[in-house]
Amino acid sequence: MNKKLAITFSAAGLILLVFLIFYWTEYTKELETENIKKFFDFQTKILNKNIEEEKLSAMTVAVLLSENENIKTCLLQHDREGCLRALNNFTNILQNVSIYKNVKFHIHTADMKSFVRSWIPMHDDNLLGFRYMLKEVKKGVLADIEVGRGGVFIRAVAPILSSENSFLGSIEVLLDFEHLSDFFKEQGIDLFVLLKKGYDSPYQSKDNENMINDFYLINKDYANLNILPILKTINFKGEQFHKFNTHNFAIEPMNDTMGNKIGYFVIYFNSDQKERNLSKLNIWLK
């Protein structure tokens, strides 16, 4: 009887031990998940704060250039080559500052047509149908995220006024997301910028290599492409937080100046230190 009782207690103790191990394992996983969610909440706030700061940086440059006499003169005289030379000079100067490394400029006429783009020789196209910020620029300088024919950028637009205070047109400063991406990379975090694909979008790309489901990967030239196989499995209409083993993703909506959801920012963090280091070496993760 004592032997049977001992066996019974031993079996019960083993079951209890297994239960405790299982409970502790699940509790540890849940605690880790909650900590990563808190980590992502903080990083999302940092992302939004940095975007606002970059808007202000772009706005500052736009205001300064709108007061530049060379810009005013070339626009008033319809001297496209003169404006392009002036913009190239500003590009060369500003590129020495990391946040403006890939800066672009766009001058528009008073009737919202493209006068000159600093990065391509395309001009005279009508911007009225999709550039919402340009419709408000007569009221003063403004900055936000918006989609154009060149893609999605942090944009700032300032009115260009004559000496008689008449509206000549506007100048726009465009910043891409590489500076933001570099900021997160320094912390071991990756940032992906996804723009929603749509037949009615002013941005149309025939490059299928920069597609993730129904989105363009806007920052593919400087994003961590090792993560794409996992990123393609995410349902962006689902939850904000996604976890695949040690791969963790936070999804933040990207809205334009009209409040339309035009895509997503995706913050990625690998909780495994070894895999984070391998990722930096461009070794594909399985």
Residue 277 has pLDDT above 60, yes or no: no
Region 173-187 average pLDDT:
95
Q: List the beta bridge partners of residue 252.
A: 265
The pLDDT value recorded for residue 208 is: 65
Mean pLDDT of 149-176: 95
Map the chain to HEC letters.
CHHHHHHHHHHHHHHHHHHHHHHHHHHHHHHHHHHHHHHHHHHHHHHHHHHHHHHHHHHHHHHHHHCCHHHHHHHHCCCHHHHHHHHHHHHHHHCCCHHHCCCEEEEEECCCEEEEECCCCCCCCECCCCCHHHHHHHHCCEEEEEEECCEEEEEEEEEEECCCCCEEEEEEEEECCHHHHHHHHCCCCEEEEEEECCCCCCCCCCCHHHEECCEEECCCCCCCHHHHHHHCCCCCCCCCEEEECCEEEEEEEEECCCCCEEEEEEEEEECCHHHHHHHHCCCCCC
Residue 278, pLDDT above cutoff 60: no
Asked whether residue 281 carries a pLDDT value surpassing 60, the answer given is: no
CB 187 within 8 A of CB 261: no
Please provide the average confidence, as pLDDT, over all residues in the chain.
Answer: 86
pLDDT grade, residue 245 (50/70/90)?
confident
Q: Between 212 and 110, whose confidence is greater?
A: 110
pLDDT of residue 27: 44
pLDDT tens sequence across 53-66: 999 999 999 999 99
Query: Is pLDDT of 285 > 50?
Result: no
**pLDDT digit string (tens) for 74-121?**
999 999 999 999 999 999 999 999 999 999 999 999 999 999 999 999
Global confidence as pTM: 0.84
Share of the chain above pLDDT 70, in %: 83
Give the residue with greater pLDDT, 5 vs 189.
Answer: 189
**Higher pLDDT residue, 26 or 207?**
207
pLDDT at 124: 94
The pLDDT value recorded for residue 155 is: 98
* pLDDT computed for residue 216 by the predictor: 92
